[in-house]
Chain A
Amino acid sequence: MKAFLTGAAVAALGAGLTFVGLVTFDQSTAERYQDGSVILLDHATSWDTD
């Protein structure tokens, strides 16, 4: 019982830390402008690579 609770607590702590870490270093991959158009930020343009 004690071991189970310790395991559950460590799993919860790990999940919490991962959540905080991911939210902290979150980077947007797209940007939306006022006219509704969306730019994907992680793609090179076709004429950049061609």
Chain B
Amino acid sequence: MTDAAQGHAGGVRGRAFTGYRIAGALSALLFLVLLAWQAFELFDGDATVAPERGWRAVSSEAAGDDGSGTLASEMLTARTRLQDERFRTGPAPDAETPGRGLPQDMRLEQQDIPRNEALTDAWSRPEGDAASMLHDPGRIVGLSSLPYANAALYERPFARDWRVGLSDVITHMGAIAILGMGFLLSAMLALRGRVPIRKGRSGRKVRRFGYLERTTHWLTAISFIGLALTGIVIAYGETLFLPLGDRVLGTLGWWSTWGHVLFAPTFFLGIAVMAAMWTLGNLPTKLDANWVAKGGGFFSDDGPHPPARKFNAGQKMVFWSAVLGGLVMVVTGVTLMFPFYWLDLGGMAWAMLIHAGIAVLLIAIFLGHIYIGTVGMQGAIEAMWGGDVDRNWAEEHHVLWLQEKDAKEGAR
């Protein structure tokens, strides 16, 4: 805080934190550019996922031969039988190994499928008759000689909805939610400045959170950040890291897939202990409506902050997001760790959609929490870092809690 901030006649003003406001403006600019990029991606024809490459068999000598033939299919059948035999009996070194499925003089080659071709379009976004035909039976089943149960299930129209939901809707909306939150918070810092301790620091401390409370908070926070960063690599890795090279995405992806599972148990432990410690203090009361109506007193340096006990309505919203949102994440996450143990394919698709959708929302919400707990509010970080806050901070933000605490300690 600057001297000028403290010397103002009306108490400390948020706008006096010039350095913070410049940083906020620069950060807002960066987020604006990222949002513009995301908006461009959203309306770009390339925004939806569609098949880009197709395989076909061609003759090694004369390109243009379609390559399908009785011989190839017989070979494939023989090979399939061998696989099934081995699946049931285990390795049989003496068994005669059939030749390759493709004759020696044929080879497979890849070719581009032009975008916006009728076939690609219909696959990507079926409409009208095509959509109703695809959705009516729920699944399109044929015959297959491949040795696994769902090989004969050629198409599940719900899988198309799942793909569109996951890779198009949630991915893009999630990016907009996260970047949008970053922009709003940066703009708030730039325009409003920090929420100050208006009376300045008193120099007298009051204990706000005990050791167990703070440890649980940081345990959950570290686990959440670990899960969020690894989850972002899993969800957005191709966009963010593939431009840096295959190996970068490969390595990051490998560690992120592991890390995403490794941080999960401590995250669950954290929200379970938090729920046990803080649920009572976070039940909604009449004070909360008043607090929300006044915007928590965050948007202006004039007039008093609305009164609150240990937790104000904003903190309660963060608490319930963490506990309820976290519970949904744990339930869907464990479901994804044990695929098909208690859900079928449709259930797994829903688990993934819910997991991803809630995840991006939680990341956006907790960006807000991290902001207000650090740069957004003077003196807030001390509550979780050392456990003691300045009395003036407590009086401005949690006056009822401070009075109750003083009364309790005075009565001792």
- Tell me the A residues contacting B by CB distance below 8 Å: 1-4, 6-8, 10-11, 14-15, 17-19, 22, 31, 33, 35, 37, 39-41, 43-49
A-chain residues with CB within 8 Å of residue B147 when the two chains form the complex: 39, 43, 45-46
Q: Is A8 touching B269 in the complex (CB atoms < 8 A)? A: no
B142 to chain A, nearest CB (A): 11
Instruction: Please state if A6 and B262 are interface contacts (CB–CB under 8 Å).
Output: no
Report the stretch among B3-11, B197-205, B220-228 that lies at the interface: B220-228
Query: In the complex, A4 Cα to B211 Cα: how many Å?
Result: 10
- Point out the residue from B83, B88, B214, B218 that lies within 8 Å of A37, measured CB to CB: B83
In contact, A10 and B79 (Cβ under 8 angstroms): no
Answer whether residue B219 sits at the interface, using C-beta atoms and an 8 A cutoff: yes
- Interface positions of B (Cβ within 8 A of A): 79, 82-84, 86-88, 91, 97, 144-152, 211, 214-223, 226, 258-259, 261-266, 269, 384-387
Select from chain A the residue with minimum beta-carbon distance to B212: A3
A40 to B144, CA, bound (A): 16
Interface of B is mostly: helix
Q: Are A11 and B222 in contact (CB under 8 A)?
A: yes
Contact between A15 and B266 (Cβ–Cβ < 8 Å)? yes
Q: Which 10 A-B pairs have the closest CB atoms?
A: A7-B218, A3-B214, A43-B148, A14-B266, A15-B262, A7-B219, A45-B147, A3-B215, A11-B222, A11-B266
Q: Which of A6, A15, A41, A49 has the most CB of B within 10 A?
A: A15
Cross-chain pair count, CB within 8 angstroms = 95
Contact (Cβ within 8 A) A3 B148:
no
Most buried by A among B97, B148, B217, B386: B148
Residues of chain B within 8 A (CB-CB) of A11 are 219, 222-223, 226, 263, 266
- Dominant secondary structure of chain A at its interface with chain B: helix
Known: A45-B148, A46-B151. A8 touches B82 (CB 8 A): no
- CB closest chain-A residue, reference B214: A3
State whether A10 touches B385 (Cβ < 8 A): no
Can you report 7 A-B residue pairs in the complex whose CB atoms are below 8 A from each other?
Answer: A3-B218, A7-B215, A14-B265, A15-B262, A19-B258, A37-B83, A45-B87
**Complex formed: what's the CA distance from A43 to B264 in Å?**
28
A33 with B91: CB separation less than 8 A: yes
A22: chain B residues at CB < 8 Å are: 261
Contact of B84 among A14, A17, A35, A47 (CB under 8 A): A47
